[in-house]
Chain A
Amino acid sequence: MMGNVTLLEFLSAGQPVVDHRPFPRFRLDGRAWRAMIEQMAAAEWSVMALWGEPDEVHVALRDEETGDIAVASHPCPEHRFHSLARARPSAIRLERAVHDLWGLAPLGAEDRRPWLDHGRWPQRHPLAAHPLPPAEQPHVYDFLAAEGHGLHQIPVGPVHAGIIEPGHFRFHAQGETVVRLEERLGYVHKGVAGLLAGKTIDQAARIVGRISGDATVSYALAFARAVEAATGCEVPPRAHWLRALMAELERIANHIFDMGAICNDAAFAIMLSHMGVLRERILRANDTMFGHRLLMDCVRPGGIVRDLGPEGLHLLPLLLRTLRKDFNRAVTLYNETPSLLDRTTGTGIVTASLAHRFGAGGVVGRASGRAHDCRRSPGYPPYDDLDMAVIEALDGDVNARVEVRIAEVRASLLLISQMLADLPKGPVSVALPQVAGEGMAVAESFRGEVVVWVRIGEGGVVERCHAHDPSWFQWPLLEAAIEGNIVADFPLCNKSFNCSYSGHDQ
């Protein structure tokens, strides 16, 4: 392949798959798949998600120049496919997971260690057409070595000291300085992809809303939009706006609590208390307005479950006012406490080149100069009707990630004010057509871009569904961010990323 080919031009050489909406999907044979990998070395196509089926591997790609999104599928009846990992390091862990779950082996991949599979499941390759008998004993994970005088290892987890999710971190340290951090995840793998196959849309929505409970609205939204795309369902405008309202409330609640927790890990506990109070106000308002504190099961395919009543319309402006006032106080406190800034500035730097190479989104990417926000590109309603800037910072340190969060909370507060002013009237849900089809959708969670792909069969049953968490492209950067920092700053760095364990492992 020569020259500057766009993603869609390139893939259109493959066989288009009908009934895949709104983004096209193309089936590539072995040669075209390899050509695509070669082309990726030169082209600016980033991996959005990579997943399997018993005899096929799929990769969702975004052309960073044109903004186009497409899915490339490669049938592999021999259960092997050429690895993307050399062109895109972000695919390494995804391919290891595809091998663990579906038994499709990435050819040419250097890292062949199992990822989600700890050798404990009742079957190997549990989602393959023919799963293998279980491993004889749990795998001993072969951590990468670090050699040198005076190096020591610090194993941490899976059960951590705080009230957080489980995962294992292996530090190689020299004195206080971290030489290498390696993550081992997969502890909270719940087999979601397996569970979703064969479920009704309602049952599946309930499970998808619990892939990562803190981002439940965004997952439910991505799933609902994927199902609506697959079935050709048109959602009433008011539902779009109220979904976005919930998504922004979720973003604010998580961002402010993260900001509190980051400061707490820099031994500045008053911020956590202050933010805990603000967060509680939002959760109580959520409960009053939509009937659930975390807004679980409030967004469903076809619309939303409960309309915003007069009580909510009365409550929201009051909530916005007190949030704005108290949040500004907290920001002043942050900006005018030098001992705190001393801990966050220059700590845990992620370079812009790494953020781009891994296609990292969310706060992590935007704090390192990768200004991607899927509310803007590809965009979805109602954000096209709202004033919204994509926040960006360049320093890539803990402080930059705090600043991006601060700016995003302010932006979300503004968005909610706009939504309140222009909220359309009308119904908030429609019945889903009972038709088969394939759909894909993205939604910007507080962590970044959630991707959901779904295939609906006859009779409204979910045949296959895959959900991709933004943390896949952020966890590897944490390993890079901590290098050369002191061990005691790890909680600070980790919290400033706040990657999902459950969303990643699912």
Chain B
Amino acid sequence: MIPPIARMLFRHLVKGPHTLRAVPPPDPDGSEELARALGERVRERLGRSLSIRAVDAGSCNGCELEIHAVNAPVYDLERFGIRFVASPRHADVLLVTGPVTVNMAEALRRTFEATPSPKWVVALGDCGRDGGCFAGSYAVVGGVDRVLPVDLHIPGCPPAPKQILAGLLALLDSVAAK
């Protein structure tokens, strides 16, 4: 009997990856162009490598779900050389989600200190800008910029994968402008 994994792999070989199929050509919402532009920028400016460390500083887990979505095969961030790493010591970018809670502020600061320079901080989601609907609580410091220098903010609650791709593209542009 042919094992199911072999069947599944064979189907992908014949039919091609989901990444190409799931983005509807000629792409009415522009995510294909966006993805292509992102790939080119990464190649020319960072030599095909950008490492991101995601830090949840108090989020509701909504932003994390959409980060998982850009990582999943349909958007497949890794095809551009952008990948999520396990340690801040391996990272170029800290992708911070959530209103920063009082209990997470120090951990966030230490994560930043552990990241080697040059480094960039991206605040993801509406809470990351100013605390969102949690602003004003005794347990919330506020937006990410209350704790770390933020280079870019990606809006949305949570930002859709397309917005996350667009945000990373904007970051690469600003990196080149520096």
Chain A residues within 8 Å of B, Cβ to Cβ: 118, 120-123, 126, 138, 158-159, 161-166, 186-192, 194-195, 203, 206-207, 210-214, 216, 257, 270, 272-274, 276-277, 279-280, 283, 287, 293-294, 296, 329, 332-333, 336-337, 500-502
Residues of B within 8 A of A216 (CB): 60, 62
CB within 8 Å for A210 and B137 given contacts A166-B56, A273-B73, A280-B72 = no
A161, A272, A287, A502, most chain B CB atoms within 10 A: A502
Which residue from chain B places its CB closest to the CB of A162 in the assembled complex?
B86
Report B142-163 CB contacts with A as 1/0, cut-off 8 Å.
0000000000000001101000
Please measure, in the bound complex, the distance between the C-alpha atom of A502 and the C-alpha atom of B58, giving whole angstroms: 7
Which residue from chain B places its CB closest to the CB of A287 in the assembled complex?
B160
Interface SS, A side? loop
Are B101 and A189 closer than 8 Å at their CB atoms? Answer: yes
Q: Which of A123, A187, A207, A296 contacts B138 (CB under 8 A)?
A: A123
Are B61 and A500 closer than 8 Å at their CB atoms? Answer: yes
Residues of A within 8 A of B172 (CB): none
Q: Which of A120, A213, A274 contacts B60 (CB under 8 A)?
A: A213
Minimum distance in angstroms from A337 CB to a CB of chain B: 6
Are A276 and B101 closer than 8 Å at their CB atoms? Answer: no
CB within 8 Å for A277 and B103 given contacts A188-B58, A188-B98 = no
Query: B22 interface residue, CB < 8 Å from A?
Result: yes
Are A212 and B61 closer than 8 Å at their CB atoms? Answer: yes
A163, A194, A280, A501, most chain B CB atoms within 10 A: A163
CB within 8 Å for A164 and B64 given contacts A186-B103, A188-B59 = yes
Are A210 and B133 closer than 8 Å at their CB atoms? Answer: yes
Chain B 40-72 interface residues, beta-carbon cutoff 8 Å to A: 54-69, 71-72
Can you show 10 pairs from A to B with CB atoms below 8 A apart?
A120-B106, A158-B104, A191-B134, A213-B59, A214-B61, A216-B60, A276-B68, A276-B74, A293-B160, A333-B4
Residues of chain B at interface, number, CB under 8 A: 53
Residues of B within 8 A of A165 (CB): 56, 59, 61, 64
Residues of A within 8 A of B120 (CB): none
Please measure, in the bound complex, the distance between the C-alpha atom of A118 and the C-alpha atom of B69, giving whole angstroms: 33
Query: Which 4 pairs of residues, A with B, have the shortest CB-CB distance?
Result: A213-B62, A276-B72, A191-B137, A213-B60
Minimum distance in angstroms from B97 CB to a CB of chain A: 9
Which residue from chain A places its CB closest to the CB of B65 in the assembled complex?
A214
Query: B167 interface residue, CB < 8 Å from A?
Result: no
Please measure, in the bound complex, the distance between the C-alpha atom of A213 and the C-alpha atom of B156, giving whole angstroms: 13
Q: Which of B58, B62, B72 contacts A294 (CB under 8 A)?
A: B62
Minimum distance in angstroms from A54 CB to a CB of chain B: 15
Are B139 and A126 closer than 8 Å at their CB atoms? Answer: yes
Please measure, in the bound complex, the distance between the C-alpha atom of A188 and the C-alpha atom of B137, giving whole angstroms: 12
B61, B106, B132, B138, most chain A CB atoms within 10 A: B61
Which residue from chain A places its CB closest to the CB of B67 in the assembled complex?
A163
Please measure, in the bound complex, the distance between the C-alpha atom of A486 and the C-alpha atom of B124, giving whole angstroms: 35
Query: B3 interface residue, CB < 8 Å from A?
Result: yes
Minimum distance in angstroms from A283 CB to a CB of chain B: 7
Chain B 69-98 interface residues, beta-carbon cutoff 8 Å to A: 69, 71-74, 84, 86-88, 98
Residues of B within 8 A of A161 (CB): 86-87
Q: Which of A123, A280, A296, A333 contacts B157 (CB under 8 A)?
A: A296
CB within 8 Å for A194 and B67 given contacts A161-B87, A213-B60, A500-B61 = no
Q: Which of B63, B73, B84, B136 contacts A213 (CB under 8 A)?
A: B63
Please measure, in the bound complex, the distance between the C-alpha atom of A280 and the C-alpha atom of B72, giving whole angstroms: 8
Are B62 and A337 closer than 8 Å at their CB atoms? Answer: no
Minimum distance in angstroms from B100 CB to a CB of chain A: 10
Which residue from chain B places its CB closest to the CB of A161 in the assembled complex?
B86
Minimum distance in angstroms from B105 CB to a CB of chain A: 8
Residues of B within 8 A of A188 (CB): 56, 58-59, 98, 101, 103-104
